[in-house]
Structure 1
Amino acid sequence: MNETEGSVPVGKYSIYYRLFSEPGKRVPEKGTVVCLHGGPGATHDYLLPMSDLVSCGYDVLLYDQLGCGRSSLPRNVALFTIENNVEELEVLRRKLRLGRIHLMGSSYGGLLALAYALRYQRNLRSIITEGGLASVPLASREMQRLKMQLPDAVIRTMEKYEEAGDYSNAEYLKAVEVFYRRHVCRLSVWPPELVYSMEHISSSVYNTMNGPNEFTIIGNIRYWDISDRLGEICVPTLVTGGKYDEVTPVVARQIHRGVEDSKLLIFNESSHLPMWEERERFFEKVSDFLNSL
């Protein structure tokens, strides 16, 4: 497998990318799968398993969104919006001459994939969401429901520090980790790529767009809801999620109901990251979907 890295200018900033491809093939046999990381504010690294699709005849492109990872880190937080993320993706697609792409989005990246489709679906061959969402209010309500199922002592600790606005207290972070271990990744040992992405999340992007943690969404995406426009999306779509996902199957089913040409797949041993938690089965199902197109 070949790997190429580089950066693409987007306005006065640059977007870092990594392209994985088959040796000796200048044009991918089946097109390029562009992968959108979550957070918002994470890095592309936890999506590295997606490069497995190269063996099926696809190029795979991973990149860091503006303000994240190895891309430019502007001080102006007003730049961190869904709309700007959509446009930077389109610039990246054009400048790298990718043609019509398969678009995969994880978590916030799933939201971004759907938002891109509403504006540029003529440039898409397919969409895959993993723990994605079309309605932040619905996803937020579902996360609060999961939070209230935690042990009483954990809930009390969370509420104590949330009422004080102290989201960085060590006791609070320990309580939050209980939620993450149940509903973000259930593996006993987290993969180093995931740990890296979590440790290098951009606090500027995350706090501006999301908020202090996964289930306290008070940033500029908090009212985002395109559920009433999902019927406009006409490209083949695979909606995936985990049984224990923080972005619950209720949210996944909303996307599936809204996008007419969609398939729904819930991984029963996974939470938010079936690409890691059930890696072999995840890639079997994703490759089956792509190869059916």
Structure 2
Amino acid sequence: MKYLPLLLIVIAFACNSGTPQNNGITVETYFAHTDSGVQTAGIKMIPIATPVGTFKVWTKTIGNNPRIKVLLLHGGPAMTHEYLECFESFFPKEGFEMIEYDQLGSFYSDQPTDSSLWTTERFVEEVEQVRIALGLDKDNFYLLGNSWGGILGYEYALKYQQHLKGLIICNMMASAPDYAKYNLVLQSQMDKKIVDSINQMQSAGDVANPRYTALLEGYYNEHLCRIIPNPDPVQRAFKHLNPVIYTMMQGPSEFGISGRLANWDIKDRLKEIAIPVLNVGAKFDTMDPEHMKWESTQVQQGRYLYCPNGSHLAMWDDQAHFYPGVIQFIKDVDAGTFTADKHE
């Protein structure tokens, strides 16, 4: 009998080894080669047809799960997938296939200079071409977007939700004008002299001035990412930002919005989204967490995840709340047990 505990441990290990929780996907299956020929660590350059020519975008697929495939949409516009690399510490061990992706114009993808390309509508068609190229469909396709990626995720769902199984909108309000108003609330909590200086330098176009960057640092440390210094993937994403596209669409910084997206508003269209949706908000976000909670009540099947210690990049500074909530949403949708939040 003295060997019984050891035997039970061996049996338990044999039963559980190589199987991510609740997915029935073994390590061998998850990491099985899906391409023949030279192995490229899951990286594919996908051709994207546009009105001004065909260009290539960078994607990297980690794992293989025919039931759960999560495409990550980075923010910016024109940041990079790099700041979303933190998902690699959480999704693979759950057996979730995940796809990192640099949108057209971003560092690892082609960077054409025709300004007509930088519209939400054109980016939506890009995501659709990526979906087709990677073989994602309504039975396995989850779209997760952060910030501008949330705008893109919403717009994709409004046109192509028939191809989606679930949608995760992280740290993005459904209205740019409302976001601008909330930014004024955050500004009211800051030193007025600093706010005035930032706004004056933005108005004058003096955003390359080191003093401008220094003045923004406190705001970013409070509301963008609260881990100081920022984690290496976040620093790399900022280093590789395409400032031309970012400024054209968002404005010169996260201190408000003034580019092509300034009037974007889909509040009245949220009711059209019928697939399961998870809205993620955070206490210290640049976006209003109460607005993001409200969004979850406007879609047909919404759930809200609040990150009490998080900011705009809650996937970094509130991992204890962010990942369990996101992972549970995906598992619930996959299992057919998803229930929306109840609202009075």
TM-score (norm: length of structure 2): 0.80
**Residues of 1 paired with 2:162 and 2:199: CA distance?**
46
1:163: how far off? 4.2
Contact 1:240 1:252 in 2 (8 A): yes
1:10: how far off? 0.5
Match of 1:19 in 2: 61
1:49 aligns with 2:89: no
Match of 2:105 in 1: 67
SS in 1 for 2:47: strand
Match of 2:35 in 1: none
Alpha-carbon distance change, 258 to 163 in structure 1, aligned in 2, over 3 angstroms? same
**Residues of 1 paired with 2:225 and 2:200: CA distance?**
25
SS in 1 for 2:290: helix
Question: For 1:87, which of 118, 122, 125 is the aligned residue?
Answer: 125
SS in 2 for 1:217: coil
Unmatched segments (≥5 aa) in structure 2:
1-29, 32-40, 334-344
SS in 2 for 1:16: strand
1:203: how far off? 0.8
Give a deviation string over 1:99-156, Cα, whole Å, max 9, x none: 2310100011011101000000001110111102211111111112212211233223
Q: For 1:115-264, what aligned pairs fall within 5 Å after superposition?
A: 115-264=155-304
**Residues of 1 paired with 2:291 and 2:211: CA distance?**
30
Contact 2:43 2:59 in 1 (8 A): yes
Which stretch of structure 1 is more off in the superposition, 144-153 or 203-212? 144-153
TM-score (norm: length of structure 1): 0.94
**Residues of 1 paired with 2:288 and 2:256: CA distance?**
16
Q: For 1:24-35, what aligned pairs fall within 5 Å after superposition?
A: 25=64, 28-35=65-72
1:80: how far off? 0.8
Unmatched segments (≥5 aa) in structure 1:
none
**Residues of 1 paired with 2:203 and 2:322: CA distance?**
39
**Residues of 1 paired with 2:307 and 2:170: CA distance?**
10
Alpha-carbon distance change, 70 to 163 in structure 1, aligned in 2, over 3 angstroms? closer
Using CA pairs below 8 Å that are at least 6 residues apart, which structure has the higher relative contact order?
A: 1
Q: For 1:90-101, what aligned pairs fall within 5 Å after superposition?
A: 90-100=128-138, 101=141
Contact 2:166 2:276 in 1 (8 A): yes
Contact 2:80 2:241 in 1 (8 A): yes
Q: Which portions of structure 1, spanning 4 or more consecutive aligned residues, are displaced by more than 6 angstroms?
A: none
**Residues of 2 paired with 1:221 and 1:173: CA distance?**
22
**Residues of 2 paired with 1:163 and 1:125: CA distance?**
43
2:125 maps to amino acid: E
Match of 1:39 in 2: 76
